[in-house]
Structure 1
């Protein structure tokens, strides 16, 4: 993939005969997903990711964890020095020391290290690498190739992929051991189905599958033999912190109250309980304790009807996600529908849980994309407001 002059890398797949098109814009800093636009031939192009219009505004407007890779450890850990017990080891477990900085103060105790502190991967420059590069070949030799995680997988009409690499040295962010991270992004455009086998039912009629966007993060120890010799290791928990909004801002009706009219379903009956500091207690609670039930016949309901009063900020555990005997990677893990029900995102994952966050701390400061304004000339819209998008 050639180096862009404006710092934005673009992948695109399209079918001119049907006006169907998927386009993804990425920047190296944090490997930010700047734009993911969808054209179906049935509605004007829609960008399903929140964010500013200009990619340079991500740095100007400050750190918001908006569509970047976060790590080495996503979510919250206690700030300061701690020991993690690797219970998979023999003889009572191996103690791994970490020393993390605080970037989320807490009034009644030590604060948290949120998304790996002041210098997370969302601020790092990822390096584009070719499919035949040494680092890609090293990952292929570890048999960690990304798998197709969709049960209904029609042959692609066209596809486009790119690889990006980040090296994280030992001691980085207070975590031991050096690691290498390979991110692979792929867009695929599906042919228009000739029957109903590849359609998704909805209230406004069946929808044909336009395509698939696959985002894969893999990590490996840079020197596994040396780490094994010292019987050491490191915790790691990578993700893309991606915010979605499916509104048609040009048409009516649209979701003027943020995501309240979006419809959501998650393949989950339980979530992780948290302390007042938002750190997990270790207890797994039923979702019904939050007033949420995704198992009902009408489980895909407007977010405004199912979201707790304080908003979503829960780690939902996927059904059948424990144990080694069941391969459920081909089952949908979440579904998000637009207010008009004309655009549907179906999410698949090989992970055991998802953090669902409804942008509860956004305040309208900053900017937003032109496609996310009522009119192209609307300048007073400001940035995204509280509960104006949904992060997975």
Structure 2
């Protein structure tokens, strides 16, 4: 039996887990450490229950994994080149969590914090976090909330809201890994559709290459405008080979319209479909290229490609690329950052 010290979070306090339910047999579990999605179980037509999220064996294992399983990440999701941004003539140096670059908000990003539970009921949980001036190098104090809602139409809605007292780039996302066939199945057998005409080429460290120009998906392995299995064009070009698969951001056709699907995923057995809706300008599609060795829910270990992430966010390194055709990632005092992403499940 685990002793008390092991069961406690790094701040010495217990992990607090909340389970959300709807009347269609779907359940979602979240916890305050990292405002993390722990589990998402869908009731199938045949009466079975299917776990759609990768996860650790217990809450106490989450601080010890490096894959950001289900975590809320910020202040800035994805990478910032050379861990620096510019504000006017001032160069601001950030903490380098993937030296020399910053990944997912820094060494002590939002995934490594205890969020305060503001309110909850059977269908909703709302968390709050204060990020102080200079946190991971970022300017100003940021106030952020994360709202998780399980709706009656089998969607998980995740809404991030933030304000700042000094100009600061903000891009928040949840780093859920999905496998619609349940864990330990090769996710590359899933069919995927992404409604995007352009993607962002990156180098082996995930930093935009060359002049940071977007590239049309047309005629490339990155064309998911029509649904196809992930494996069909897997590792077929240098852009994929640089990062062992797909780990690229797609500029969405939806342009922030939450009413239009941004992406769709089908399980390999074609019995479960997930549709993604988001107000974010881009989706980072990650095929789980570096999951190998991450401790799994059943206490074994995940392999590479056991799960995929579709992270809603701004394009990586956006603070250094104001020319990109997306909303400005800089949040100003008096403004409110709002990002909503919904994952809807349908048993087929």
> Taking structure 1 as the reference length, what is the TM-score of the superposition?
0.68
Does the CA-based 8 Å contact 2:254-2:261 persist in structure 1?
Answer: no
Counterpart in the other structure of 1:73: 76
User: What is the CA distance between 1:216 and its match in structure 2?
Assistant: 0.6
1:243 equivalenced with 2:177 (yes/no): yes
Give the alignment partner of residue 56 of structure 2, picking from 44, 49, 52.
Answer: 52
Counterpart in the other structure of 2:248: 314
Secondary structure at the residue paired with 2:275? strand
1:367 equivalenced with 2:295 (yes/no): yes
Give 1:171-320 correspondences, 5 Å limit: 171-190=134-153, 211-221=154-164, 223=165, 227=166, 233-247=167-181, 256=185, 258-280=186-208, 281-288=211-218, 290-295=220-225, 299-309=226-236, 310-319=244-253
The verdict on how the C-alpha distance between 1:128 and 1:264 changes in structure 2, with shifts beyond 3 A counting, is same
**C-alpha distance in structure 2 between counterparts of 1:56 and 1:6, whole Å:** 8
The superposition leaves residues 254-283 of structure 1 with CA deviations (integer Å, 9 ceiling, x where unpaired) of x84x11211100001111122444212420
Secondary structure at the residue paired with 1:180? strand
**C-alpha distance in structure 2 between counterparts of 1:346 and 1:159, whole Å:** 23
Q: Provide runs of 4+ in structure 1 moved above 6 Å.
A: none
Secondary structure at the residue paired with 2:289? coil
The superposition leaves residues 128-160 of structure 1 with CA deviations (integer Å, 9 ceiling, x where unpaired) of 1038xxxxxxxxxxxxxxxxxxxxxxxxxx971
User: What is the CA distance between 1:349 and its match in structure 2?
Assistant: 0.3
Counterpart in the other structure of 1:197: none
Secondary structure at the residue paired with 2:62? helix
Secondary structure at the residue paired with 1:345? strand
Counterpart in the other structure of 2:8: none
The verdict on how the C-alpha distance between 1:43 and 1:369 changes in structure 2, with shifts beyond 3 A counting, is farther
Give the alignment partner of residue 64 of structure 1, picking from 64, 67, 71.
Answer: 67
The superposition leaves residues 113-133 of structure 1 with CA deviations (integer Å, 9 ceiling, x where unpaired) of 1112211000011101038xx
The superposition leaves residues 314-334 of structure 1 with CA deviations (integer Å, 9 ceiling, x where unpaired) of 10111152xxxxx73211000
**C-alpha distance in structure 2 between counterparts of 1:287 and 1:49, whole Å:** 28
Secondary structure at the residue paired with 2:222? coil
Does the CA-based 8 Å contact 1:79-1:101 persist in structure 2?
Answer: no
The verdict on how the C-alpha distance between 1:302 and 1:43 changes in structure 2, with shifts beyond 3 A counting, is farther
Structure number, greater radius of gyration? 1
Does the CA-based 8 Å contact 1:83-1:95 persist in structure 2?
Answer: no
**C-alpha distance in structure 1 between counterparts of 2:15 and 2:175, whole Å:** 23
The superposition leaves residues 307-358 of structure 1 with CA deviations (integer Å, 9 ceiling, x where unpaired) of 335311010111152xxxxx73211000011111111000000111110111
Does the CA-based 8 Å contact 2:189-2:231 persist in structure 1?
Answer: yes
**C-alpha distance in structure 2 between counterparts of 1:55 and 1:332, whole Å:** 32
1:104 equivalenced with 2:106 (yes/no): no
**C-alpha distance in structure 1 between counterparts of 2:118 and 2:175, whole Å:** 22
The verdict on how the C-alpha distance between 1:46 and 1:282 changes in structure 2, with shifts beyond 3 A counting, is same
Secondary structure at the residue paired with 1:283? coil
Q: CA RMSD in A?
A: 2.4
Give the alignment partner of residue 122 of structure 1, picking from 102, 111, 119.
Answer: 111
Does the CA-based 8 Å contact 2:65-2:294 persist in structure 1?
Answer: no
Does the CA-based 8 Å contact 1:313-1:357 persist in structure 2?
Answer: yes
The verdict on how the C-alpha distance between 1:47 and 1:175 changes in structure 2, with shifts beyond 3 A counting, is same
Secondary structure at the residue paired with 2:42? strand
Q: What runs of 5+ residues in structure 1 fail to find an aligned partner?
A: 15-19, 86-93, 106-110, 132-157, 191-210, 228-232, 250-254, 322-326, 371-378
The verdict on how the C-alpha distance between 1:266 and 1:96 changes in structure 2, with shifts beyond 3 A counting, is farther
User: What is the CA distance between 1:12 and its match in structure 2?
Assistant: 1.2
The verdict on how the C-alpha distance between 1:159 and 1:286 changes in structure 2, with shifts beyond 3 A counting, is farther
Secondary structure at the residue paired with 1:51? coil
The superposition leaves residues 141-181 of structure 1 with CA deviations (integer Å, 9 ceiling, x where unpaired) of xxxxxxxxxxxxxxxxx971121100011111100010100
**C-alpha distance in structure 2 between counterparts of 1:320 and 1:69, whole Å:** 23
Counterpart in the other structure of 2:278: 349
